[in-house]
Amino acid sequence: MTLHLYDTETRALREFTPLVPGHASVYLCGATVQGEPHIGHVRSGVAFDVLRRWLLAHEVDVAFVRNVTDIDDKILNKARDAGRPWWEWAATFERSFAWAYDQLGVLPPSVEPRATGHITQMVELIDRLIESGHAYASAGDVYFDVMSFPSYGALSGHKLDDVHQGESAAEGKRDLRDFTLWKAAKPGEPSWPTPWGRGRPGWHLECSAMAETYLGPDFDIHCGGLDLVFPHHENERAQSQAAGDGFSRYWLHNGWVTMGGEKMSKSLGNVLSVPNVLQHVRPQELRYYLGGAHYRSMLEYSDHALRTAAVTYRGIEGFVKRTVERAGDVPLGTWTDGFAAALDDDLGVPKALAELHATVRAGNSALEGGDLESAVQHAGQVRAMLSILGVDPLDPHWASGSGDTDALEEALGVLVDAELQRRAQAKVDKDWPAADAIRDRLAKAGIDVTDTPNGPEWSVGATRSNDEAGQ
């Protein structure tokens, strides 16, 4: 494997060389558990799960840390408005996120630390920063001195004159560009004892402390959404390196899921919760949709795009399952060279999907021509590629039922079979135009019909070469 990844800090593709040969250390900024997860939240989980699977497939051991932010202004405010304890509110939605990741087949992290479980490490980090002159205490708060760190802004490209931390003004700040490491206790809020008085951690401090705890002062890859580059990741980098850590060697950021060109967020009111979307498509179809675009691109959501992705996936799934029905088994094969080249080029999933679809088309042709051995070989390759993308239809994870989707597929089957019976009768009557018209009508509706020695077989979704371009 010669994997190249786009590093946000250097703004260039860089060959990935882990600190320890055969071992990769990865930190992904996880959820702030303030509410129900929407599909924008889980895109990063899907995108970097592909990275993890690709590394594992090449026998690279991966330490994968995905944190939970369970103490935060938004959590406290929403819990208070709902009349619920803050810890119960956070725990409730932590379970919601865990459920969503599992539904989409995202591999569980090596460890999933909570911010509130690492207060000691945060206090120790602040101590180091104060001692080295990069932080200062003021009336129970502690701030990072941005001007003390010469390379501040290198990750995001922000100029110091343009820095706005998004924090409320505070009398104790020496410079408005400084950011909060520790917040003095407020009445009714949770707090912990420190040398500077009781309080709670700032958001940026949490990830630096947890990353160092589990991955050490130097690690390979830090991942997260594009919206985290500034101020969150910029501030993580600054405080960790100011404290003497090398911190992350590669920075990877995924694009947003957008609606109407705007980032999907609760504040915009344009959210699509994972449970709601899964009433309309199966989890593997949602994952195929979220993972089908390049991870760094913006993914403009529409119902049509989601359903198109679902239909496309069903076509791929149909080929694999038809081959299994004919052959009895399809062993997991090896991905194609083109697929590997695409993923090695900054996880280029769209190009990898083009290779996948070409393999499916070749396999379908082999099935239609009665070449079962070739069909099995192609289906094995398809399974190998789908397994890296996390949507191998024969993976036991996807074996559970799909509720309403099963009922819809049963109804569709009745309708398609009726059409095929009419087509068969037209052939008996040698009414070729009528038979062709039925097949064309089905194809227009996304139904593939394959004539075999055992009669016609059908599946949902033609695997067209431009399917991936619509993702």
Structural domain harbouring 389? 276-470
For residue 210, give the amino acid letter. Answer: M
CATH number of the domain where residue 459 is located: 1.10.730
Q: Are residues 342 and 409 in the same domain?
A: yes
Is residue 57 a part of any domain in this protein?
A: yes
Q: Is residue 266 part of a domain?
A: no
What's the CATH code of the domain at 68? 3.40.50.620
pLDDT tens, the chain, 471 aa long: 799 999 999 999 999 999 999 999 999 999 999 999 999 999 999 999 999 999 999 999 999 999 999 999 999 999 999 999 999 999 999 999 999 999 999 999 999 999 999 999 999 999 999 999 999 999 999 999 999 999 999 999 999 988 999 887 778 899 999 999 999 999 999 999 999 999 999 999 999 999 999 999 999 999 999 999 999 999 999 999 999 999 999 999 999 999 888 888 877 666 799 999 999 999 999 999 999 999 999 999 999 999 999 999 999 999 999 999 999 999 999 999 999 999 999 999 999 999 999 999 999 999 999 999 999 999 999 999 999 999 999 999 998 644 444 555 556 766 787 788 789 888 888 899 998 999 888 888 778 787 766 577 776 654 343 343 333
CA distances from 42 to 94, 183, 405, 458 (A): 13, 29, 22, 33
Count of domains forming the chain: 2
Q: Give the pTM.
A: 0.85
226 occurs within a structural domain:
yes
CA–CA–CA angle 316, 39, 158 (5° rounding): 120
Q: Are residues 107 and 222 in the same domain?
A: yes
Q: Are residues 179 and 325 in the same domain?
A: no
Q: How many helices (H) and strands (E) does the chain have?
A: 14, 15
- Helix, strand, coil percentages for the chain (3-state, nearest 5): 50, 15, 35
Residue 261 lies in a domain: no
Quick one: 234 and 180 in the same domain? yes
